[in-house]
Amino acid sequence: MIDFEPDHDLQRRIDAYRIVARQIMRPISREYDENEHARPTKFYELMWAGRAQAGLEVGPDKGARSNRMRTLFTILAAEELSWGDVGLFLQIPNPGLGGAAVMAAGTPQQKERFLKRFSEGNPKWAAMAITEPGCGSDSAAITTTARREGDHWVINGTKIFCTGGKMAAELSEGFVVVWATVDKNAGRAGIKPFVVEHHTPGMSVVRVENKLGIRVSDTAALVFEDCKIPLDNVLGSPEVKPEGGFKDAMATFDATRPIVAAMAIGVGRAALDFVRDFLSERNMEIRYGLSPQRLTAIERDFMEMEVQLKAARLLAWRAAWLLDNGQRNSLEASMAKAKAGLAVTQITQKAVELLGPLGYSRAYLLEKWMRDAKINDIFEGTQQINLLIIARRILGYSSKDLN
């Protein structure tokens, strides 16, 4: 039986996140949207200092993340904090995608080595570098190489659109998980993840993108030029086997796509809540329980927005529940990601439309949420790629059979 009910401890932490989102994140949301590359130092130091009380510590048997509802708790927290500001949520010091890759592909010793640091010391970040200038949705076409030279791996290549890449590459104790091929002739099986520590010679941040939305979150381009890392920084086995390689990358996405879906749901909920309050202040209440024929056009639109958001939320919860219970969730993770990305895009656009010029103006955060929403339909697998994955899973086709 699927049970999404949080226990008392988890509910207490979720309530704490709700306070953070409303009282800390929302008031500074516009400031950091308008000053894209400014670092919200006070915010992330506050979040780092309070991570233990909130259940954000990462490491062996740390807090809520060690129990059976670990992933479900994470997506509930992601929704609440993204309601506050999704860009600021992405700036919270944490293992991020890099940590997810370590969890998916690393040995027990590597998980201890790389993730323990997130429970102590100063604020730190981890990122994942997979996308390349000539390789976007087709991540199996990676051209960045890693070759063995004595007691080191040497990495060469360029990675782009790396979320949190600058923070992870340049600040103390952070790291970037770089996906590179050790054998081009082996295809997908030859692709391996490598942990590159902050300030490693040969790794450089060459650009930080100017973006439509999530502007406070840094999105970096990284170049690796004869970047040397220790042999044991390859996650898992360095051997080229058909069952390894790129499948580890997909396992990473199975864990993180429900989180991205939850981020989208948080943004969509922010827009819905704002529209509801806006209408209520003008004595325009949404009347539930009436037939569609008796509803106004605004009421019908609003209810449809609610339906789409709730459907996306249930898909995200199911994907998280499956993962927490040790079941494969590849199909459900892609379904949640695809549904939430599409839903939040439509919901925020409709919210702006319902308020007309006021929705389009910068007097409110509604137009910002519309800009923030679109990235959820793009990163960690575009809408089209996730729909393709869903079709393959349902029909039982391989990537060669259906592309």
Show Cβ contacts of residue 208 under 8 Å, excluding neighbours closer than 6 positions. Answer: 37, 166, 218, 219, 220, 221
The neighbouring-strand residues paired with 175 are 126, 197
d(CA 203, CA 226): 8
Among residues 80, 132, 299, 380, the one annotated as catalytic is: 380
Residue 354, φ and ψ in degrees, nearest 5: -65, -35
Show Cβ contacts of residue 158 under 8 Å, excluding neighbours closer than 6 positions. Answer: 132, 133, 144, 221, 222, 223, 224
d(CA 99, CA 115): 7
Q: Give the angle subtended at the CA of 62 by the CAs of 60 and 63, to the nearest 5°.
A: 155
The neighbouring-strand residues paired with 297 are none
Q: Pairing between strand 191-197 and 203-208?
A: unpaired
d(CA 325, CA 66): 12
Show Cβ contacts of residue 5 under 8 Å, excluding neighbours closer than 6 positions. Answer: none
380 catalytic per annotation = yes
- Long-range CB contacts for residues 56-63, cutoff 8 Å, separation at least 24: 56/92, 56/94, 57/118, 57/119, 58/94, 58/95, 58/99, 58/115, 58/118, 58/119, 59/112, 59/115, 59/116, 59/118, 59/119, 60/112, 60/116, 62/119
Sign of the dihedral defined by the CA atoms of residues 98, 336, 300, 22, in that order: negative
Show Cβ contacts of residue 12 under 8 Å, excluding neighbours closer than 6 positions. Answer: none
Which residue in this structure is represented by tokens 């790389």? 114
d(CA 348, CA 263): 13
Q: Which residues are catalytic, by number? A: 380
